[in-house]
Amino acid sequence: MPRQRTEKTDDQIGAEKRRRSDARRLKRAQETQRAQRLAKDRESRRARKQQATDQLRDPRIVSDREAKRAYRAAEETPEARAERVTKERLAQRKRREAETPGDGSQRRQKDREAKRARLETEETPEAHAVRTTKYREAK
């Protein structure tokens, strides 16, 4: 004997729709959280790996911008360096053309302050020679 089909009320239909949409929303939120967690793990793993390789090269490289630059210069081919420098200069020229006179004076002020700070913390020629020979030996 076939089962009799019962008609659903509007309340029952509405409740089912709400349950489905709640389940969908919950699933989407869980997927988002999972994706964020995976991205965070991936990022921190990459950072830890980078830090470990940097520390193998030289302990100061992690925080010292000048040392990073020196290390890159030691590894970089002359052609690659020329290309990079050209690209940097073009970008700098573009930025300078786009800036207003007020921006230019602010930039020059910051440059002066940075130069003053650099001169105060600058290494002696002897220390520089020692550091560069150490990098050459490390290569």
Q: Tens of pLDDT along 73-89?
A: 777 788 888 898 999 99
Least confident of 4-18, 32-46, 113-127: 113-127
Short-list 61, 80, 57, 70, CA closest to 132: 70
Backbone angles phi, psi at 58, to 5 degrees: -170, 130
> How confident is the model over 95-103, as a mean pLDDT?
84
To which H or E segment does residue 99 belong? none
> How confident is the model over 20-28, as a mean pLDDT?
94
Spell out a b/e string for 47-81, using b for 16 or more CB atoms within 10 Å of the CB, else e.
Answer: eeeeeeebeeebeebeeeeebbebbeeeeeeeeee
Inform me whether the pLDDT recorded for 31 exceeds 90.
Answer: yes
Place of tokens 């509007």: 10
The answer to whether 135 and 127 are in contact (CB under 8 A) is no
> How confident is the model over 98-117, as a mean pLDDT?
85
Inform me whether the pLDDT recorded for 119 exceeds 80.
Answer: no
Q: What is the pLDDT of residues 33-72, one digit of tens each?
A: 999 998 888 888 888 887 777 666 655 545 566 767 777 7
pLDDT for 59 equals 53
The answer to whether 53 and 46 are in contact (CB under 8 A) is no
Place of tokens 């930039």: 107
